[in-house]
């Protein structure tokens, strides 16, 4: 999958955000749940929404959670 720049699409504005999808990944993690072996499927997606695409209140919320998300990813890949 790859983002495509298409001139016919709306330009970024207050009502529209034009983002770009960047490389992504599937993580397949075998786990045991209720005595059964299952596979946890995680899809990691990188998106660049450009600037200034997010309202300031939402941007603050995302920034506060960023450290915990990185710590969770670190623990996931350190297994």
- Does residue 71 lie within any of the structural domains? yes
Q: Is residue 3 in some structural domain?
A: no
Question: For residue 1, what are its two tokens?
Answer: 């999958």
Q: Would 67 be classed as within a structural domain?
A: yes
Domain tally, the chain: 1
Question: Does residue 70 belong to any structural domain of this protein?
Answer: yes
Measure the N-to-C terminal CA separation of the chain; round to a whole number of Å: 28
Model confidence pLDDT, tens digit, residues 4-39:
677 787 777 777 777 777 888 888 888 898 899 998
Q: Please give the pLDDT value at position 58.
A: 73
- Average pLDDT over all residues of the chain: 77
Quote the pLDDT of residue 31. 87
| CA distances in angstroms from 20 to 16, 48, 73, listed in the order given | 13, 5, 22
Supply the pTM of this predicted model.
0.49
Let me know: does 39 contact 1? Beta carbons within 8 Å.
no
Partnered with residue 46 across adjacent β-strands are 22
Q: Domain for residue 61, yes or no? A: yes
Domain containing residue 33? 20-78
| Residue 11 counted as domain residue | no
């Amino acid at each position: 999958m790859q983002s495509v720049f298409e001139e016919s699409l709306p330009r970024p504005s207050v009502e529209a955000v034009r983002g770009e999808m960047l490389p992504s990944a599937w993580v397949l993690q075998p786990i045991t749940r209720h005595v059964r072996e299952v596979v946890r499927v995680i899809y990691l997606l990188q998106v660049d929404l450009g600037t200034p695409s997010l309202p300031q209140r939402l941007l603050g919320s995302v920034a506060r959670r960023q450290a915990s998300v990185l710590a969770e990813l670190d623990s996931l890949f350190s297994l």
